[in-house]
Amino acid sequence: MNASLQPAVFGATGYSGFELVRLLTRHPGAKKPLLLRRNGEAGGCADLAEAYPQLAGNGGFPLQSFSWHELKSAGVDVVFFATPHEFSRDVAPEAIANGFRVIDLSGAWRLKDRGHRNVYGFTEKPEDAALDNAAIYGLPELHAGEIRNATLLANPGCYSTSIILALAPWIRAGFADLEHGIICDSKSGVSGAGKAPTAKTHFVEVDGDFSAYSVFGHRHTGEVLEQLGIGGGSLQFTPHLLPIPRGILSTIYVKLAKPATAEELELSLREFYAGKPWVRVFGAARLPQIKFSLNTNYCDIGFSLSPDGKRAVLVSCLDNLLKGAAGQAIQNMNLMFGWDEREGLQ
């Protein structure tokens, strides 16, 4: 494969942005990414290798100011936004208006329902309504066909990915009793909170602790409801902060609509994800663990069934910075430009 695609990246200095640059740099179909400073951004490093010495020795990764004209002259094909939601909301429309395809890792364009978008506190602009409707939710295992033709690709949230991928097969097959309700108990490493330290995420506060947060109000809840096609009364999602750098484990409690065997439930998962290279089904034999998917683009799914066949516990694990962010963005890029989903991720 010849390196023919020219990517550009906003927000390369964050954890997800760094992972994105690292993956793009080794992708056989991509040229070295252009790293862009946000308008008005001052200070910080002049070269990404100053913040991440892992990149040293690759000829430098300068962070540069930009204009859309300069990006066109450089032959940029796709612009990644690993930025705060508000920046993506303001600048992604400009990128699209200038003819670029956009892959946005923020929550700016993920949600169709305005009530769900309200959790981000956006100022809704009338001119953005068309983009809200046109944005494609970038979960390849559910929307590969739409992703291939996307102009604006909204990369899913990390928690959302772990929950949606675990539940979608059983909900579509009618195994889950939605009236009874589903409980999603999810845990994430500290990198999920972003690079900027806060009073709740620096080492002294997190080490040796384990805490719940954003109960009844986490931003990813709307994504899960919309993508699974269920109402808010059918699901309770509670996120927790683990004292580890990265990784997500979601424990999901499901009452079955009718008694089922472990073989039936496992077959449902395996058939749903047949030919989907980045989902590994563990079935009922062994439950996934964070360390199995760490530093990979895999989402691992397994379950245990109660002896009476009426209740099941799903366990879903992934790396929040890869399948939950940058890795999934590369998987989406591969689909958008006609490559195998595994390119640059193996």
Q: List all residues 6 or more positions away from 102 whose beta carbon is below 8 Å from its beta carbon.
A: 78, 79, 80, 81, 92, 95, 96, 151, 152, 153
Q: Token digits for 119? A: 């959790």
Q: Cα angle at 92 between 88 and 93, to 5 degrees? A: 130
**Could you give the CA distance from residue 214 to residue 15 in angstroms, rounded to a whole number?**
22
Which tens digit of pLDDT belongs to each residue from 200-218?
777 777 888 888 888 888 8
**Could you give the CA distance from residue 320 to residue 317 in angstroms, rounded to a whole number?**
9
pLDDT of residue 43 exceeding 60: no
Whether 317 is catalytic: no
The mean pLDDT of 289-315, rounded to a whole number, is 97
In the block, residue with structure tokens 């990644």: 80
Cβ(329)–Cβ(138) below 8 Å: yes
By DSSP bridging, strand 34-36 and strand 63-64 are parallel
Which tens digit of pLDDT belongs to each residue from 50-74?
989 988 888 889 999 989 999 999 9
Distances (CA, A) of 48 to 20, 243, 295, 301: 12, 27, 20, 35
Cβ(213)–Cβ(240) below 8 Å: yes
Strand order of the β-sheet with 78-81 is 63-64, 34-36, 7-10, 78-81, 101-104, 152-154, 136-137
pLDDT of residue 12 exceeding 90: yes
By DSSP bridging, strand 152-154 and strand 136-137 are parallel
- Annotated catalytic residue within 45, 158, 184, 299: 158
Burial class of 49 by CB neighbour count within 10 A (0 to 12, 13 to 18, 19+):
middle
Looking at this protein, which amino acid is placed at residue 106?
S
Which tens digit of pLDDT belongs to each residue from 20-35?
999 999 999 999 999 9
Q: Delineate the domains of the chain, giving CATH numbers in brackets.
A: 7-155+325-336 (3.40.50.720), 158-318 (3.30.360.10)
